[in-house]
Amino acid sequence: MSHQALVLDANILVRAVLGQRVFKLLNQYHGTTAFFAPDEAFEDAEKYLPKIFEARGLDWAIGAAVLSRLPTLVQRIEFDVYCEFEVNARKRIRDVRDWPVLATALALDCPVWTEDQDFFGSGVATWTTNTVPMYLIGVE
């Protein structure tokens, strides 16, 4: 049963596919922490990952397989869940393109996991990949 929750930014979804650390953390803690990401974060990851793989000369079939597993670890949150928080989120965040992640965090009343500095000072607890293990360990 989940006792904690985190909203993931698109950059964390991308890192889960490109690297090992984020995916391992998601896999290790999905039983004790609920992971969420707004639909737009998933769409961004789906849009940019093939281009990143191509630019790096990597096999996209492998990346696509990892990406297809993410919904088993990270719940996709649809627009209708967070849309009522759009105005508040846009006021709080420096980069207005990030409002869906912040609005989702406000809707679900939970912190954000991101590498994006624009979330700091938004009034929502923010964790990076380097610091999020401290949050996750709290439920072990």
Q: What is the pLDDT of residue 94?
A: 87
**Domain boundaries, given as residue ranges, for the chain:** 4-137
Superfamily of domain 4-137: 5'-nuclease (3.40.50.1010)
Q: What is the pTM of this model?
A: 0.92
The proportion of the chain whose per-residue pLDDT surpasses 90, expressed as a percent, equals 86
Using DSSP bridges, classify how beta strands 112-113 and 126-127 pair: parallel, antiparallel or unpaired.
parallel
Q: Edge-to-edge strand order for the sheet containing 33-38?
A: 74-77, 33-38, 4-8, 112-113, 126-127
pLDDT digits (tens, 9 = 90+) for 78-125: 999 999 999 999 999 888 899 999 999 999 999 999 999 888 888 999
Cβ contacts of 49 within 8 Å, gap of 6 or more: 14, 17, 18, 60, 63, 67
pLDDT digits (tens, 9 = 90+) for 17-26: 999 999 999 9
Q: How many angstroms from the chain centroid is the CA of residue 106?
A: 14
